[in-house]
Chain A
């Protein structure tokens, strides 16, 4: 399992691995927002949590179709499925690798981009906390979507349509947690809901993803 994780990380950071694609997209979205909504700093500060969350979600979505597509095309997925590793473990590792290479850089970049959106000082902790807690759910749900569409040539469109509704609860509670934190309101409810969604998806979805891969490999 560790070997698979290390291999995926190695492939991601080498040339053509797609590392940084999501990060660049996130950067572009956040940089362009002040140009499109205008430079009033009070307006930017109030929409910053929502913009950061939306940007992170779309950046995550961008890299989902790579999770299984490359392994399917070069035959590794067949070989992994016949290896001693349990398929549930393989999909969990794939989700973890996606989080480490696509989502974690967004979490790290978020405070720097928040600066450009004039986020109040109290908000940085909440932005990072909400993204840190919510993005694992995005990776795990995305892995499930990628498992559903594995084997489809250019299944990216279908993947986005399948995954977006499943992302909505995470987005609502994640952005709500960040917004309430920024405004100094009570954060307990969205915090617990977001944590609940993340841990439930991590616990349950790998089994669904593995079952779907088994069917798709037939």
Chain B
């Protein structure tokens, strides 16, 4: 077990969006979060990554094992692809960039400025960052946005590799990536709206 969630509630902007979540993530396991837009998948991921405190419940796990990839890739447009990757490698104390470059086919783009990449290429660079972190638990928020089909296949292959090496992954995604994963639909855990102010009829 690398991550265990007990009776977790997460909130966004002071409103609880999900509550009563219980799950565990084991080495080699992928967990896919599903649910309609605005159901709280991103909020859940941010809470698990340690960016915000849980509204209630417990998260058992070491934040130092988690690598988080948000909607935004955190790329610096004036730095080259290599410089962007090397920076994150240094931050996470690793040095070998080549597995990440090969996994996402970035070899021909290394000296291009990140600002000159297409949306899909940027995403690939953002995902390659996960691999250079050397961390065990990957948390990905909509990882396949703007990727073409072959890049999606590459990405799925990288995840499979990661799982094979006893890594784990937690993904919020809408498409089927074609690897064995536990699916967690978050909609049943939607928090009941208790604290919303009641609008007067005249205003409606």
- Which residues of B have CB within 8 Å of A217? 51-52
> Are B49 and A82 in contact, CB atoms less than 8 angstroms apart?
yes
- Interface, chain B (partner A; CB < 8 A): 46, 49-53, 63-64, 66-79, 83, 87-88, 90-93, 129, 133
Least distance between A85 CB and chain B CB atoms (Å): 6
Q: Within 8 Å of chain B (Cβ to Cβ): is A218? A: yes
The contact of B73 among A10, A15, A74, A85, by CB within 8 Å, is: A74
Q: Within 8 Å of chain B (Cβ to Cβ): is A154? A: no
> Are A74 and B72 in contact, CB atoms less than 8 angstroms apart?
yes
Q: Mark A126-162, 1 if CB is under 8 A from B, else 0.
A: 0000000000000000000000000000000000000
In Å, the complex CA distance between A86 and B64 comes to 11
Task: Answer whether A75 and B76 are a contact pair too, CB < 8 Å, given A10-B83, A217-B51, A218-B51.
Answer: no
> Which residue of the partner chain A has the closest CB to B68?
A82
The contact of B91 among A3, A10, A11, by CB within 8 Å, is: A3
Task: Answer whether A79 and B78 are a contact pair too, CB < 8 Å, given A3-B90, A10-B83.
Answer: no
> Are B79 and A7 in contact, CB atoms less than 8 angstroms apart?
yes
In Å, the complex CA distance between A84 and B53 comes to 18
Q: Within 8 Å of chain B (Cβ to Cβ): is A31? A: no
The contact of B72 among A11, A16, A78, A85, by CB within 8 Å, is: A78
Interchain residue pairs with CB less than 8 A apart (25): A3-B90, A3-B91, A4-B87, A4-B91, A11-B76, A15-B78, A74-B74, A76-B75, A78-B51, A78-B70, A78-B72, A78-B74, A79-B68, A79-B70, A82-B49, A82-B66, A82-B68, A83-B88, A83-B91, A84-B91, A84-B93, A217-B52, A218-B51, A218-B52, A218-B53
